[in-house]
Amino acid sequence: MGNTACCGEEKNTAPAELVEAVAFAAGAPAPKEESAAGVEPDTPVPLMVVIVGACGLKSEDSLCEAYCTCQIRGRGGSVVQTEGRSLRADPEWNQEFELADYEKGDSLEFAVFSAKPGSTDETLGKALLSLEEIRPGYAGHLALLESKLGAYLSVKAAVGGDYPEMPETMGEGALADNTDEYKISVAKTTRDSKIGVDIVPQGESALRVKRIKEGLIMKWNGEHEQDVQVEPGDWIVAVNGFRGAADGLLARISRDTTLEIVLRRVPG
């Protein structure tokens, strides 16, 4: 497919005060279950995958199409790809694939791209489906990392194609199934409204919540379930659709009146 960037991205210099970032081994093969001594590795079995669709990626550019790839993590030769679908609406593919080389212990990587004739393809988001989710059969919604605010991918995966029932579309403020990210919405109603968090830079493209104080975040926590409550140690990774330099995130928190904030839980 031709390759395009349908959306621009702000690039800013990170603040001087930086704290050490947690390293994520992007693209590294997922650990596999160990076989007992003297036992041959598991024989590959076909895994069936349905790439259902994506939500939250729409573009006004009538020439932009979206397609999705899936591969066994760490094995580039296993890539399968959907057809292109217009981004004027949320893309629906509903395409089924067989990954014949799947082995017990493998994880799946998904990536959604936009394409436009004569331009370079742009990565719209990525998601990972873990061993624990694949083993019993999976049907659900995965947050698209590196994507627009709240975008997600809907997929099914099961050995032999015996898929569970697909749950309903995610609601506002809900966690996707890969629960490292969640979204909150707060609004400054007066000049004196305070967010109520102490935050520090976390690497070049996130802010870490150091402490929660009286303010909008504490009020949000008191009105919502625990799985979308902000906790010390969570990372702010997007503010009002912007993902990028930490100083850009901080500027929007300080400047904007209504805030949609995406946070990431970091095990630890």
- Residue-wise pLDDT tens digits, 215-268: 999 999 999 999 899 999 898 988 887 777 788 889 889 988 889 898 988 665
Alpha-carbon span 265 to 268, nearest angstrom: 9
- Residue pLDDT, tens place only, 168-177: 655 444 445 5
Following CA atoms 189, 193, 197, 202 in sequence, which dihedral angle do they give, to the nearest 10 degrees? 70
Q: Which H or E element spans position 9?
A: none
Average pLDDT over residues 29-50: 55
Q: How far is CA 29 from CA 25, 38, 56, 244, in A?
A: 9, 23, 29, 26
Strand arrangement of the beta sheet that strand 138-143 belongs to: 92-99, 47-55, 152-159, 138-143
pLDDT at residue 12 is higher than 70: no
Amino acid 224: pLDDT: 94
Work out the pLDDT band at 32, boundaries 50, 70, 90: very low
This prediction's pTM = 0.53
* The amino acid at 57: L
Highest-confidence range of 43-57, 67-81, 252-266, by mean pLDDT? Answer: 67-81
Complete domains list, the chain, with CATH = 47-159 (2.60.40.150), 181-265 (2.30.42.10)
98-113 residues labelled b (16+ CB within 10 A) or e (exposed): ebeebbbbbbbbbbbb
CA distances from 182 to 32, 53, 99, 257 (A): 28, 20, 30, 20
pLDDT band at 36 (very low <50, low <70, confident <90, very high): very low
In the chain, where does DSSP find H-type helix?
A: 131-134, 216-223, 246-255
The pLDDT score that the predictor gives to residue 144 is 81
Please state, in angstroms and rounded to a whole number, the distance separating the CA atoms of residues 249 and 256. 11
To the nearest whole number, what is the mean pLDDT of the chain? Answer: 78
pLDDT at residue 212 is higher than 90: yes
Question: What pLDDT digit, counting tens, does each position of 84-111 carry?
Answer: 999 999 999 999 999 988 887 788 999 9
Residue 51 pLDDT:
97
